[in-house]
Amino acid sequence: MPPLIHIVDDDSLLREALRGLLRSMSYETMEHGSIEAFMAADKGERAGCVLVDVRLPDGNGLDLQGRMAAQGLQQPVIIMTGYGDIAMSVRAMKAGAVDFLTKPVRDQDLFDAVVAAVARDQARLGERENAAELERRYASLSPRERQVMTLVTAGRLNKQAAAELSLSEATIKTHRKSAMQKMKAITLADWVRMADRLTHPEQSPAPAS
């Protein structure tokens, strides 16, 4: 599915021109004449970015960024600005916008900014999917395997983990091997990095039956 570029501008002629340029790059577009129209649109979960005029009938680029943040929308924002609005555009970049383009926007500048923003969003979505897959693997572990993972990735030796859990060292090795296989960890270093990335690892490995 091609990236989706949102164009937020109250100038219909400019929206049409930008749509043509972006579709020539094989991007899909959605056009919005105001912040409200953008916020009300069904945006889905697709890689892309938001190309927004710094001044709109119902606010400015900073307002849009604030409302996106409040709703958890993380697509990169590119600000389009007139010469008199550069100071506002700089403030927008400090608030998280990834670039700003001065009108009249040069085709090459637009292409460069959008390509960079889309690549950034694709990386964000890829990392989110990787994190979700890691959580799915962790959820497949048994309670005992989670306890072993917590201890071993915290630096305990097998015999130390065995003592803490009142198990034999051989049993610890069995759980460790099974847990690493389920997590698809090739090395102990891989496993430790995975444990660091989990959002809710076991905190207190109390003995289980």
pLDDT digits (tens, 9 = 90+) for 29-74: 999 999 999 999 988 788 999 999 988 999 888 899 899 999 999 9
What's the mean pLDDT when you consider all of the chain? 90
Task: Give Cβ neighbours of residue 137 (< 8 Å, ≥ 6 apart).
Answer: 182, 183, 184, 194
Task: Please tell me the distance from the alpha carbon of residue 87 to that of residue 27, in angstroms, as a whole number.
Answer: 30
Average pLDDT over residues 152-177: 96
Residue 209: per-residue pLDDT: 37
Note the pLDDT tens digit of each residue in 20-34. Answer: 999 999 999 999 999
- Res 62: pLDDT: 84
Q: How confident is the model over 89-131, as pLDDT tens digits?
A: 788 888 888 998 988 889 999 999 999 999 999 999 999 999 9
pLDDT for the residue numbered 173: 96
pTM of the predicted model as reported, rounded to 2 decimal places? 0.73
